[in-house]
Amino acid sequence: MLNLHGSTTRLPFDLVSVKRHLTELEAMFGEQIRRITDVPYPFGGSVVPPLWSWKALQAIFVGKLKTMTRWCNKKFLTETSVRNHLIGTC
């Protein structure tokens, strides 16, 4: 469990594993992933959200995965997880 902006919540992925994997990818490619308050921010543009946290990132990717499952599974099976989708996007 993590304390994110004063609330206790369980993320649907292993945060230590995600951080380690992203660090390995940064070292492998010699590029730094954009971060806000040490949380990956894989979206371009100059707009920065006032509160950015792992919980906010989780909410976006859970929503994206639900949309993919709901709409894409009509013809193709969505075979990913929130963790893998997050890493692939960052």
Q: Are 49 and 56 in contact (CB under 8 A)?
A: yes
Q: Residue 82: count other Cβ atoms within 10 Å of its Cβ.
A: 20
Largest CA distance in the chain: 41
Neighbour-count burial of 20, counting CB atoms closer than 10 A to its CB (0-12 exposed, 13-18 middle, 19+ buried): exposed
Note the pLDDT tens digit of each residue in 24-74.
989 999 999 888 888 888 887 767 788 888 888 888 888 888 877 777 766
Model pLDDT, residue 27: 94
Question: How far, in Å, CA of 67 to CA of 35, rounded?
Answer: 25
Domain spans in the chain, listed from the N-terminal domain onward? 2-89
Would you place residue 10 in the very low, low, confident or very high pLDDT band (cuts 50, 70, 90)?
Answer: low
Model pLDDT, residue 6: 38
